[in-house]
Amino acid sequence: MPLTDTAVRNARPRERAYKLSDGRGLCLLIQPNGSKWWRFRYYWEGAEQMLSFGTYPDTPLFEARNRREAARQSIAGGVDPGAARRAKREAKDNTFESVADHYLAQLEKHVREKKRSDQTLRKARWALHTYIYPDLGRRPIGTITPQELLVTLKKIETKGLLETARRTKQRCGQIFRHAVGLGHASRDITVDLRGLLEAPTVEHHASVTDPAAVGALLRAIDGYTGRDATRFALKLAPLVFVRPGELRQAQWSDVDLANAQWRIAAQRMKRKIQHLVPLSRQALEILRELKALTGDEILLFPAQGHGSRPMSNNTLNTALRSLGYSGADMTAHGFRSMASTLLNEQGWPADAIERQLSHCEDDEVRGAYNYAQHLPLRRRMMQVWADYLDELRSGRVRLPETVLGESRPAERSPLQRSDLFLVEA
């Protein structure tokens, strides 16, 4: 006998699960915990199959019957309703958006584990939701063609957001590779788009690189009359040339004055790989003076009135402006460019310079183990660099000793040799 709404509503749980039949394969399964599930039993190719039509009361009796009749019509038409449902579910799981959301969930996990920055996650979500999902989000990821993705990326490019287009392409490449791993795509189609997006203009951080001008900058820093913590940060920046964020978030627990090194923890590095900074005599002197000022705090450079927070990311740039250096002249990040340019000109090995700049390999595993690579040479380089800055500060411009300590060639004209000897700036 068919069920009634009253019978379904009044069905009570028992010690064991039991069924109430509505006929034509549909029944209501009542579980001991009181939940009520609609089940449809049918046969396909001689084997018994079972479909779930949801729970009561979310799925009322009339809706369960409608689903039963739709399933019976599907069977009569030669289509297995269970297989059709699975295919639909798999198609939903295969969309670009579903794969990208799975990728973002992993990225979020890395953020919680301090392996990636929260800013990276926010930017990834913003780009995908703003530019990619509207066009391609509901498409099965394995069916998207390079041409279709290019059309979507070109829409970003036409807005003048060249760097955003480039980074979004890179993010899509990571998602396609994620899809390959999940079995939803056969390859990363972004490799077909190389060279098809307009390259953004690289904007380098303003930096002072002329030796005489570097000397003038160092003397200006010595004359800075603002807050003491800011003055010490300005004096230390050219000696360690780390990223401004890494400098202002420096913690005393990472600084080993006895062994003259600063080991920056991975969570405070851009690439989330620990970094080792050898400390010159000059850097140690600054740090010892600073310790008397902020040594009781966690941070070397706490914000004014907030010992638990680092100084603002604009503090050093504002201080440089107060010294007469505009944003087009010098930035806090420019100390890195200054060191890179002059150290390369002086003949130090590029690998040692790049390692000291923490320009790590794309392979994060290799980078994690190679943070101490070239360390003896880097220790010497950092001390020679600090001595060189002292010379520039004094107003005397010279090229420091060579990497291997060879004597400089003398067979040059005075003009050619002017950068090889101690001369007045």
Catalytic residue among 110, 115, 321, 359: 359
At residue 363, the pLDDT reads 42
Pick the CATH number of 5-85 from 3.30.160.390, 3.10.50.40, 3.30.1320.10, 3.30.9.10: 3.30.160.390
What are φ and ψ of residue 115, in 5° steps?
Answer: -90, -25
Sign for the pseudo-dihedral over CA of 13, 17, 23, 24: positive
At residue 335, the pLDDT reads 95
Listed as ranges, residues in the chain with pLDDT below 50 are: 361-369, 402, 404-425
Domain with CATH 1.10.443.10 in the chain: 211-424
Active-site annotation holds for 123: no
Q: How far apart are CA 391 and CA 402, in angstroms?
A: 16
Helix (H) or strand (E) holding 399: none
Catalytic residue among 169, 178, 235, 243: 243
Q: How far apart are CA 121 and CA 101, in angstroms?
A: 11
- Spatial contact of 260 and 278, defined as CB atoms under 8 Å apart: yes
- Neighbour count for residue 381 (Cβ, 10 Å): 23
Helix (H) or strand (E) holding 3: none
Active-site annotation holds for 359: yes
Top CATH class, 211-424 = mainly alpha
Q: Per-residue DSSP letters for 174-209? A: HHHHHHHHHTS-SS-GGGGGTT-SPPPPP-PPP---
At residue 305, the pLDDT reads 77
- Cβ neighbours for 131, distance < 8 A, ≥ 6 positions apart: 152, 153, 155, 156, 164, 168
Catalytic residue among 166, 205, 219, 270: 270
Catalytic residue among 336, 371, 378, 388: 336
Domain with CATH 3.30.160.390 in the chain: 5-85
Active-site annotation holds for 114: no
Catalytic residue among 333, 355, 371, 388: 333
Residue spans of alpha helices (H) in 15-145: 61-76, 81-93, 96-112, 118-127, 133-136
Q: How far apart are CA 403 and CA 419, in angstroms?
A: 16
- Spatial contact of 233 and 315, defined as CB atoms under 8 Å apart: yes
Top CATH class, 96-193 = mainly alpha
Active-site annotation holds for 270: yes
Active-site annotation holds for 166: no
